[in-house]
A and B are shown apart, each in its own frame.
Chain A
Amino acid sequence: QVQLVESGGGVVQPGGSLRLSCAASGFRFSDHGMHWVRQAPGKGLEWVAVIWYDGNNKYYADSVKGRFTISRDNVNSRLYLEMNSLRVDDTALYYCARVRGISTGWADYWGQGTLVTVPS
């Protein structure tokens, strides 16, 4: 069955960096776009970034543009989010989510998330 398992979260000081990973299994990873979506404690969902099936198209929320980089390894079925210049308001649970199709759109499977904390 489809599984998405995020890792790499933790506590990082403002201005620091972190790399999140999402291990995918149970489906052909290279056939799907992938999202990163975050949720601050007690808040709603915020889309972060999307990468198309082949990695050639990437889009970012304005709030992370220039600081975060999404990438993927289709050989090893992994999705990544490189986060630099982290800020207090980047504190959130970060989900990876599979796009129903090859590019972008609604997400049909979600991981359980990995928590990133940037203390003030």
Chain B
Amino acid sequence: SYVLTQAPSVSVAPRQTATITCGGDDIGRKSVHWYQQKPGQAPMVVVYDDTARPSGIPERFSGSNSGNTAILTISRVEAGDEADYYCQVQEVFGGGTKLTVL
């Protein structure tokens, strides 16, 4: 079955840029979706179909996808962005990346 690989954790200072990666075989040919999950809450999509943003999600959240790596980029990181982030391809989730805001 298809495997998605995420780094367990990423740390970034406020107002800096966070980069969260999702690796998969030829993932660039697939649609990737990204979810944010804060403690005690259900996941919420922040990027879908590689680059699209649902209404209400700040422009600071953006996605890209090419080759074997999809990327979620969070610009001008805020304390409120601290959460777990999961990528999804079809019916597979990555293991998740915990974003810590220093």
Contact = CB atoms under 8 A, between A and B. Distances in A.
Interface of A: 37, 44-47, 50, 59, 61-62, 95, 97, 100, 104-108, 110-113
B30 to A, nearest CB: 11
Contact of A111 (B31, B42, B92): B42
Nearest to B37: A45
Contacts of A46: 93
A106 B86 contact: no
B35 A45 contact: yes
Contacts of B93: 37, 44-47
Given A47-B92, A97-B43, A110-B42, 13 more contacts: A44-B86, A44-B94, A45-B43, A45-B86, A45-B96, A47-B91, A47-B93, A95-B42, A105-B33, A106-B31, A106-B45, A106-B88, A110-B44
Contacts of B43: 37, 45, 95, 97, 107, 110
Contacts of A47: 88, 91-93
Contact of A61 (B45, B84, B91, B96): B91
Contacts of B28: none
Contacts of B37: 45
Interface in B68-102: 84, 86, 88, 90-96
Contacts, number: 48
Closest 3 CB pairs of A and B: A110-B42, A106-B33, A44-B96
Nearest to B90: A104
12 contacts: A44-B84, A44-B86, A44-B93, A45-B96, A47-B91, A95-B42, A105-B31, A106-B45, A110-B44, A111-B42, A112-B42, A113-B42
A59 B91 contact: yes
A74 to B, nearest CB: 22
Contacts of A59: 91
A23 B30 CA distance: 31
Contacts of A95: 42-43
